[in-house]
Amino acid sequence: MTHSHTPVQLHGAAARRALLNAGALLVLASITPLINAGLGLGALYDVHWSQRTFHYTALVRIGVGIVVFFWLPWLVIARTPLGRVSPRQRMLHRCAAVSCGALSLCATDPDASLGHAGTVVTGVTLAWLAVEVCRSHGVTLERASREKSPRLRNAEAYKLAKRVFAFCMIGGALSFLGVQALRWFDVDALPVMGDQLAAIGVKSPVDLLAALVVAVAVEDVVIVAATAALMTAAGRPAWQIYTTVCVIEVALHAYFGAPALGMLFFALGRLSIFLRHGRVLPLIIGHAVFDLIGGLLMPLPLHHRLLAAIPVAITIGTVEARLLKMFAEPSARGAAV
């Protein structure tokens, strides 16, 4: 995998293959969540889905699991010939790829009882597949920073994660306000979800953590970073990249109802940061922190959420001050010398 500052540019057949792989990754990562979001949106309009619909949904999940099971080991095997890696690394990487693919496939069976472990492994495996696909094209999802000092690199990552968190806040706030407004006006033609955690099947803290891991793995690594990186390498214009990612991101939140349009800013901000800086880690951190805080506050009544936001803001401010002080200490010592 390349670590240069300049993004890879592919041409001809290589560009077409990268674009095809980007589309395949996008389908694998988003098809099941999109179906679930569509089912949730239909439920808002009192659509009664037949049992056959859920049967086909299960078949789609199994199909995704089968493709991932074969695609990931194939890429890892191609990347780990004996001439490039040691026998130990070769065996470790290949066994891990096969194991993750097998567990992801088993997780598609509702009777397999893998529970949260299966959910997490599925999300992480999709993210790993995205990394391997990008690597096979010489594309990196974590571009090397121009900062040579580890502390300065960490400071840069922190600032980017802070911006990601801000965009997540904007998108989440707009969607939340949209939900509240439509509830207030009680527009029959525009129903909205009752509770987001219930809509996505989160009933316990463990459910929340599993959903968080899958969200950042699928949305940030695959849908935003890998899709954008591969489309950029294939020479696609920015408007196509923004349209592709933003449409998928908004559609993934269709269970909100019409307020899902607020998630457009959620997608735009994260994608713009990745396209400009080429770093996926800040996306993961900012999104994960936002989802964690939101998931913990969401079960509370609205006025309790507002009260709880005060200590949360104080805690975040305190942590930020300590981090900024830690990042600034080496510079201050260097200036003193």
pLDDT in tens, 60-93: 999 999 999 999 999 999 999 878 888 888 899 9
- How far CA 33 is from CA of 82, 119, 159, 178, 228, in Å, comes to 38, 12, 30, 22, 19
Report the predicted TM-score, pTM, of the whole model to 2 decimal places: 0.85
pLDDT in tens, 317-328: 666 566 556 655
Task: Give, as one character, the DSSP assignment of residue 300.
Answer: S
Mean pLDDT of all residues belonging to the chain: 84
Nearest by Cα to 253 from 23, 38, 29:
38
Residue type at position 111: D
The verdict on residue 18 lying in a domain is yes
Helices and strands of the chain, counted as H and E runs = 12, 0
Residue 15, pLDDT score:
92
At 3, the pLDDT band (50, 70, 90 cuts) reads: very low
The verdict on residue 324 lying in a domain is no
Number of domains in the chain: 1
Nearest by Cα to 204 from 289, 115, 307:
115
The verdict on residue 232 lying in a domain is yes
Rounded Cα–Cα distance for residues 107 and 71 (Å): 17
Q: Which of 4-8, 145-149, 200-204, 291-295 has the lowest mean pLDDT?
A: 4-8
Report the length, in residues, of the chain.
Answer: 337
Residue 298, pLDDT score:
74
Taking the CA atoms of 112, 118, 121 and 122 in sequence, report the sign of the dihedral they define: positive
Residue 113 region by backbone torsions, left for phi larger than 0, else alpha for psi between -120 and 50, else beta: left
pLDDT in tens, 175-186: 888 888 888 887
The verdict on residue 308 lying in a domain is no
The verdict on residue 320 lying in a domain is no
Residue 201 and residue 207 in contact, taking contact as beta carbons nearer than 8 Å: yes
More confident residue, 277 or 186: 277
Residue 307 pLDDT exceeds 70: no
Domain interval for residue 290: 12-299
The verdict on residue 311 lying in a domain is no
Phi, psi dihedral angles at 102 (to 5 degrees): -65, -40
The verdict on residue 335 lying in a domain is no
The verdict on residue 333 lying in a domain is no
Q: What is the mean pLDDT of residues 22-28?
A: 95
